[in-house]
Copies of this chain bind each other. A is one copy, B any other.
């Protein structure tokens, strides 16, 4: 398996149709919760003071991660940073 640290900063344009905005956010939530239930989207936190999140993904590979990220309903309105993670030698468990 492959662990990735992903930061997503969301910038929804002000002039996006309100209904489109609402639907997109709702679809984003559903999309994310489904991946959380499957264990793929392993961690999801809000960064205090920002419309941004830190997420940890547990995927087969970078290919799968790109599919998931580029499929995010909010993807067109996001700045995304991806970092590959690996097991830390001091970690007490796995």
Interface residues of A in 44-94 (CB under 8 A from B): 44-51, 53-54, 56, 61-63, 65-66, 69-70, 76, 80-93
A-B CB contact pairs (8 Å), 9 listed: A4-B62, A33-B92, A43-B43, A46-B86, A48-B83, A48-B84, A48-B85, A62-B86, A65-B84
Chain A positions near chain B (C-beta within 8 angstroms): 1-6, 13-14, 28-29, 32-33, 36-37, 43-51, 53-54, 56, 61-63, 65-66, 69-70, 76, 80-93
The smallest beta-carbon distance between A27 and chain B, in angstroms, is 11
Q: Copy number of this protein in the oligomer?
A: 10
A48 engages B65 (CB within 8 Å): yes
Q: How far is the CA of A46 from the CA of B4 in the complex (A)?
A: 11
Which residue of the partner chain, among B51, B87, B92, contacts A63 with CB atoms under 8 Å?
B87
Residues from chain B with Cβ under 8 Å of A37 in the complex: 92
A48 touching B36 in the complex, CB below 8 Å, given contacts A2-B2, A2-B61 = no
